[in-house]
Amino acid sequence: MTNLTVRLPAPPVSWQVRIRLVAVCLGLAVLAFLAFCLGVGLGDIPLGLGEVVGALFGQGEQGQLFVVWQLRLPRALVGLMAGAAFGLSGALFQTMTRNPLASPDMIGVTQGAGVAVVAGMVFGLDAGPGVQVLAFAGAVAAALLTYLLAWRRGVTGYRVVLVGIGLSWMFTSATEYLMVITEVLQSQAALGWLFGNLNGRTWDQVTPLALALAVLAPLTFLLGRSSRALQLGEDVAVVLGTPVQRARLALLATGVGLVAFGTAAAGPVAFVALAAPQIARRLAGTAWPPPLASALTGAFLVLAADLVARRVIPDLELPVGVVTGVLGAPLLLWLLARARRA
């Protein structure tokens, strides 16, 4: 049995539970929690899995509690929540456009955040929370520009992808130009952020991201019916009574908000928004990327990549985006090959 039908007599409501999808979500949640605890325990003062779990519940020595709660927990929480935000955003974009290649880092949204942050570093506007504000503003501006340029009596997923790819290269070129004309120290700082980096994360990055997820994640699931209708095609969605353009705009705004706050906290971590929904879809065996499984997959990918980045070279912590880029590039080539055959 792959589906379980649940019925309530009062009120008269029924729904189907996908057994495989539930099992996949539970498995991904366990893997993400394990990677989360291993990341918290990794450092100059190594902590075992039991010590980390105990410290999370306020048990243990005072020194262990300080190390976990003040030094390491913000980094792990940013990785967890940013990965979930990227996975959810990628699922929304891919469902809305009906294209497995559509993700924020493929259609210019992430690059828009990048050029805004680098410009802020060049012109001295990155002090305090400036990086987060600039990343958010750049992502939103890039998404609005993509939407406006793709508008032709409405917006289709195909035009969004084509316009977004063109804009992403323009933003990338602008970023490279700004890094060439700036000073060496500023260029190095910008380069470290552009790869996606969890080093030095604090509670200042955790709080805005947590608030954004608390608002946008439930909204993602409320828009589930509209996204599934769009997955069937624009004509079918109209027949089903879905206001196509309003639904697409709401999905776009939600996806941009997720990737904007995730990028502001962790930097533009490459390929997570592209890979997580496709991995989740194949694990769950669904016709579209399942949102919850995509979020859990994204969280696990970022946390696992951070573990690799911290251990692959002794005494050197690589940016997490370097690892996700190495792992995501083969997936992109495989998706391109499948798209060409289709």
HSE-CB for 69 with a 13 A CA cutoff: 13
CA distance 1 to 17: 11
Which structure tokens are listed for 253?
């705004």
Q: Contact at 8 Å (CB) between 87 and 277?
A: yes
Q: Residue 276 contacts by C-beta under 8 Å, 6 or more apart in sequence?
A: 83, 86, 87, 90, 91, 294, 295, 297, 298, 301
Which structure tokens are listed for 110?
């992430």
Residues in the chain: 342
pLDDT of res. 211: 93
- 134-173 pLDDT, tens digit each: 888 888 899 889 888 888 776 666 787 888 889 998 999 9
Instruction: For residue 16, name the pLDDT band (cuts at 50, 70, 90).
Output: low
Strand 13-18 relative to strand 3-8, pairing: antiparallel
3-state secondary structure of 226: helix
Q: Contact at 8 Å (CB) between 109 and 164?
A: yes
pLDDT of res. 89: 94
pLDDT of res. 87: 95
pLDDT of res. 37: 96
- 220-247 pLDDT, tens digit each: 888 877 777 777 666 667 666 777 778 8
For the cut 50, the answer to whether the pLDDT of residue 1 exceeds it is no
Alpha helices in 98-156 (DSSP H): 109-122, 130-149
3-state secondary structure of 4: strand
> What is the pLDDT averaged over residues 40-53?
90
pLDDT: is 136 or 79 the higher one? 79
Q: How far apart are the first and last CA of the chain?
A: 31
Which structure tokens are listed for 307?
């573990």
CA distance 204 to 55: 21
CA distance 83 to 209: 11
Alpha carbon separation from 16 to 5, 10, 20 (Å, rounded) = 4, 17, 12
Instruction: For residue 7, name the pLDDT band (cuts at 50, 70, 90).
Output: low
Look-up: residue for tokens 């506007």?
Answer: 125
CA distance 269 to 323: 9
CA distance 57 to 329: 39
> What is the pLDDT averaged over residues 80-102?
89
The total of other beta-carbon atoms located within 10 Å of residue 178's CB is 21
